[in-house]
């Protein structure tokens, strides 16, 4: 379905809706696990905020970014991330995955996946169906996709998700940023942001653990 700073674009005020949302487009099922608070991870360098001139929604009220250094070859990390059909094998919250077109992931590729969303005081337990479209992809450099997440009683109108990959001393720095828009999530920005952060941190942990296990912790 977080590489970039806030924009000077004026932001809309949240609409006065009563429903709060504690789910994540990135990995909703991760909310059941222990996760850090929704604060962007400290970085020792500024990561690119765009992929081929495109980035996350600069006007979105809900955004989160983080990064991690993975001790594995770039090609290993890239394959894990872009072989979306393999996500369920290393990301437990991804329960189903379907490519909607053949071939390697590329600009214009579409995929549909599902993940459980636990009940909250304001929303029922449900399964989110996420339809993602790749808007930009540069081999072993960056990828950007976007799309809605829809479940019974729960909707994220659009999530925009950016990933960048940079070789650094000791491994690869993977940076990710995501934004959400939609009336339901904007009704409680703090809760939605925390949920988004938990999901992205879980995704980074799973990616790091899987890539390092497959490479034996060797960065090159």
pLDDT digits (tens, 9 = 90+) for 80-138: 999 999 999 999 989 999 999 999 999 999 999 998 877 666 667 889 999 999 999 99
So what's the pLDDT on residue 44?
A: 39
So what's the pLDDT on residue 120?
A: 65
Work out the mean pLDDT of the chain and round it to a whole number: 82
Residue 147 Cα to chain centre, angstroms: 11
Q: Residue 50 and residue 86: Cα distance in Å, rounded?
A: 25
Q: Residue 108 and residue 111: Cα distance in Å, rounded?
A: 10
Backbone angles phi, psi at 185, to 5 degrees: -75, -30
So what's the pLDDT on residue 121?
A: 66
So what's the pLDDT on residue 115?
A: 87
pTM of the model as a whole = 0.79
Q: Residue 41 and residue 52: Cα distance in Å, rounded?
A: 24
Strand ranges, E, within the chain:
62-70, 96-99, 110-117, 126-138, 142-151, 154-168, 171-181
């Amino acid at each position: 379905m977080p590489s970039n700073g806030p924009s000077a674009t004026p932001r809309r005020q949240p609409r006065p809706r009563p429903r709060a949302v504690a789910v994540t487009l990135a990995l909703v099922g991760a909310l059941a696990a222990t996760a850090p608070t929704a604060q962007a991870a400290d970085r020792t360098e500024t990561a690119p905020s765009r992929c081929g001139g495109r980035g996350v929604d600069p006007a979105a009220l809900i955004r989160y970014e983080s990064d991690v250094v993975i001790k594995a070859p770039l090609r290993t990390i890239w394959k894990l991330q872009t072989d979306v059909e393999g996500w369920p094998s290393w990301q437990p919250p991804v329960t189903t995955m379907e490519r909607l077109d053949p071939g390697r992931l590329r600009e214009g590729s579409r995929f549909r996946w599902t993940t459980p969303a636990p009940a909250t005081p304001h929303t029922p337990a449900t399964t989110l169906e996420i339809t993602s479209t790749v808007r930009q992809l540069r081999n072993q450099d960056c990828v950007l996709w976007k799309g809605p997440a829809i479940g019974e009683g729960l909707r994220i109108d659009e999530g925009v998700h950016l990933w960048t990959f940079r070789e650094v001393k000791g491994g690869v720095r993977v940076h990710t940023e995501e934004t959400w828009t939609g009336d339901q999530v904007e009704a409680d920005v703090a809760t939605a942001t925390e949920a988004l952060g938990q999901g992205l941190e879980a995704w980074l942990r799973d990616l790091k653990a899987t890539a390092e296990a497959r490479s034996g912790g060797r960065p090159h």
